[in-house]
Amino acid sequence: FGDEAVQLWRAEGVDCSAVRQMVGTPTMAGIIILDAAGENRIITDPGANARLTGTDVETFAATWTSPGILLTQLEIPVET
């Protein structure tokens, strides 16, 4: 789904120059289900998110000099 996501973001005017895609590595996937009591359970497969490193972040940090939004999530390794 990575290619489709980047195409959508670009079409919406999002700067994707710092998006890193890893050939042969699946996109992260998550599923939310409800149990009989109505409580949600979240199942995730981290895919490419598990491969993000501190070096990756440092590589692109220089591009974050202008005001804007940096979106991250907790599905990446915490030490990153």
User: With helix as H, strand as E and coil as C, how does 66-77 read?
Assistant: CCCCCCCCCCCC
48, 25 in Cβ contact below 8 A? yes
Phi-psi region of 53 (alpha: psi -120 to 50; beta: other; left: phi over 0): beta
Among residues 18, 15, 10, 5, which one has the least CA distance to residue 47?
Answer: 5
In tens, the pLDDT along 46-56 reads 888 888 888 88
- Can you list the residues of the chain whose pLDDT is less than 70? 66-67, 80
Domains of the chain, by residue range, sit at 2-61
Does the pTM surpass 0.75? The reply is no
